């Protein structure tokens, strides 16, 4: 399975969970490709409107094997097969999610739509993934969960002191803002 196809499979599995939660735990979700702000490109796998949290930017990874998540620039992925042991390095997905959240915040601010807190979350979707999170000073910058943990993550991170009532109009404003900043992919 190629990387792009694997990513799409992972994102579809998260979409299925979000559809189940829509209207009860969440108020909606938006996907966006190839956004640009001041020459910087970014992509939002899922922007979830959660009344008990605010906006949640989800970065989806469909990596398999054992992933060693740290605060370093690179994360390691180890895959053991019957005849070989592979070690790959990938960019830190927590840093990627935080970068996306920062650019999202700036985009919303430009349209005077920055009315909600933004949380960043990395979700691993592959059934054969095991994530080892470093502790203390080396801990990753965001929460990292497996996809089956997503409904409970929303409940566990609910704010007791504040609720955001996302109206259909606000949802459409956010979506329109992102559409305005979408650029076609260069050939």
Q: Report pLDDT for 184.
A: 76
Q: Report pLDDT for 51.
A: 97
Q: Is the pTM of this model over 0.85?
A: yes
Task: Find the mean pLDDT for residues 56-76.
Answer: 97
Residue 9: pLDDT band (50, 70, 90) is confident
Whether the CB-CB separation of 62 and 14 falls below 8 Å is answered with no
- Domain residue ranges in the chain: 3-176
Regarding predicted confidence, which is higher, 84 or 156?
Answer: 156
Q: Report pLDDT for 50.
A: 98
Task: Find the mean pLDDT for residues 57-80.
Answer: 96
On the question of pLDDT at 33 being above 80, the answer is: yes
Residue 81: pLDDT band (50, 70, 90) is confident
How far, in Å, CA of 170 to CA of 68, rounded? 38
Distance set, CA 77 to CA 67, 131, 137 (Å): 4, 9, 20
> pLDDT per residue over 138-177, tens digit each?
999 999 999 999 999 999 999 989 899 999 999 999 999 9
How far, in Å, CA of 33 to CA of 23, rounded? 24
Q: Report pLDDT for 20.
A: 97
How far, in Å, CA of 65 to CA of 104, rounded? 31
Three-state SS annotation for the chain: CCHHHHHHHHHHHHHHHHHHHECCCECEEEEEEEEEECCEEEEEEEEEEECCCEEEEEEEECCCEEEEECCCCEEEEEEECCCCEEEEEEECHHHHHHHHHHHHHHHHHHCCCCCCCEEEEEEECCCCEEEEECCHHHCCCCEEEEHHHHHHHHHHCCCCCCCCCCCHHHHHHHHHHHHHCECCCCC
- Point out which residues pair with 59 in neighbouring strands: 122
On the question of pLDDT at 23 being above 60, the answer is: yes
On the question of pLDDT at 3 being above 60, the answer is: no
How far, in Å, CA of 113 to CA of 124, rounded? 29
Q: Report pLDDT for 183.
A: 86
Q: What is the mean pLDDT of the chain?
A: 93
């Amino acid at each position: 399975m190629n990387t792009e196809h694997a990513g799409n499979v992972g994102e579809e599995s998260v979409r299925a969970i979000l559809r189940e939660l829509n209207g009860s735990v969440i108020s909606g979700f938006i996907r966006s490709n190839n956004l640009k702000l001041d020459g910087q490109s970014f992509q939002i796998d899922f922007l979830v409107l959660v009344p008990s949290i605010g906006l949640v930017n989800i970065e989806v990874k469909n990596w398999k094997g054992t992933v060693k998540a740290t605060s370093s620039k690179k994360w390691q992925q180890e895959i053991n097969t019957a005849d070989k042991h592979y070690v790959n390095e990938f960019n830190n997905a927590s840093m990627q999610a935080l970068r996306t959240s920062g650019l999202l915040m700036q985009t919303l601010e430009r349209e005077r739509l920055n009315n909600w807190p933004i949380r960043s979350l990395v979700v691993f979707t592959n059934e054969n993934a095991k994530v080892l999170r470093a502790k203390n000073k080396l801990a990753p910058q965001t929460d990292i969960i497996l996809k089956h943990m997503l409904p409970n993550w929303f409940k566990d991170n609910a704010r007791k002191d504040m609720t955001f009532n996302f109206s259909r109009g606000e949802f459409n404003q956010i979506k329109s803002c992102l559409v305005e900043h979408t650029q076609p992919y260069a050939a």
